[in-house]
Structure 1
């Protein structure tokens, strides 16, 4: 686990490189409120509510991603059954949602679509993956902070003619 001072320094460097709060939060996999706290508070103050589990402790080992994705797939099956939904496609939100979505799509034998959010616009779907027209889709990301990225993915899915039926994050 990173020390608070190391997190502060990383947030400051990202800010100095021109990233905004939302982009820093995405890069560090923490809530925007935590970024604001890291950038504005004195070192002697107590940290906020987030507990940092570094992405690298999960992301460098595909088996760990698969285990998490399998749990997410199980939840998707359960929710789809409870709501009497058919699911056709799994949408992975770039970047960190893609590995989970890939393993989930494989586990459930579903198509895979990739959504690339944009900081100022809605974002786009990669044309190299599944289309969404007339398909029920599950949107997958690693974490949810403010909900902006997930809302953009929902909006873009509808714009592409798809039907977002579930959203799943850690």
Structure 2
């Protein structure tokens, strides 16, 4: 079975389990446009969106391997932030960014906040993202945002806007993989262990 067929099959199974298009996109580390394309597979020569599927499950299924990646990401954050940028809170993006964020927060010796972006909620309804009240408050704090993959950059734009809205100061975005090859999002530097660049 071809890679596209495997992705279609996985997308359909996730849809049958009740996941939204945004959740499917997150699970497959693809854009929402690509997830929609996989689910609908329009006929008539419609070309698939330009995207790259990232499968980092070999890391995610092993707490040991994940901890090593998070140690490297923490080191990158420490190296990448300025001397005046003492991190008070690491914000893990739900879902895959939460375990990464927890390990990075531990390595940096700071608190953990969790943010669920609006794409995780029911498609078609006007629902905003939300900070979990079960974790640290970010209001007025210096923050580093942590996630697994930047696909389109939309979630990071939302995150930076939301942090600034509540008076927080985002000083870095740290991810395992950056599919966009971004240097910054709204003047917040992007630090990635792997950066994918289209030629």
Q: What range describes the TM-score normalised by the shorter chain of this pair?
A: 0.7 to 0.9
| 1:29 and 2:29 matched | yes
Cα distance, 1:71 vs structure 2: 1.1
Query: Structure 2 stretches of 5 or more lacking a match?
Result: 120-125, 177-199
Q: Secondary structure at the match of 1:151?
A: helix
Name the CA shift for 1:14/1:73 in 2 (closer, same or farther; >3 Å).
same
Partner Cα distance (2:61, 2:13) in 1: 23
* Corresponding residue number in structure 2 for 1:131: 137
Q: Secondary structure at the match of 1:115?
A: strand
- Which structure 2 residues correspond to residues 93-108 of structure 1 after superposition, within 5 A? 93-108=93-108
In terms of fraction of residues, the more strand-rich structure is 2
Name the CA shift for 1:46/1:131 in 2 (closer, same or farther; >3 Å).
closer
Question: What is the TM-score of this pair, normalised by structure 2?
Answer: 0.70
* Corresponding residue number in structure 2 for 1:53: 55
- Which structure 2 residues correspond to residues 133-152 of structure 1 after superposition, within 5 A? 133-152=139-158
Query: Structure 1 stretches of 5 or more lacking a match?
Result: none
* Corresponding residue number in structure 1 for 2:67: 66
In terms of fraction of residues, the more helix-rich structure is 1
Cα distance, 1:169 vs structure 2: 1.2
Q: Give the aligned CA root-mean-square deviation in angstroms.
A: 2.7
Contact 2:90 2:101 in 1 (8 A): yes
Question: What is the TM-score of this pair, normalised by structure 1?
Answer: 0.81
Q: Secondary structure at the match of 1:142?
A: strand
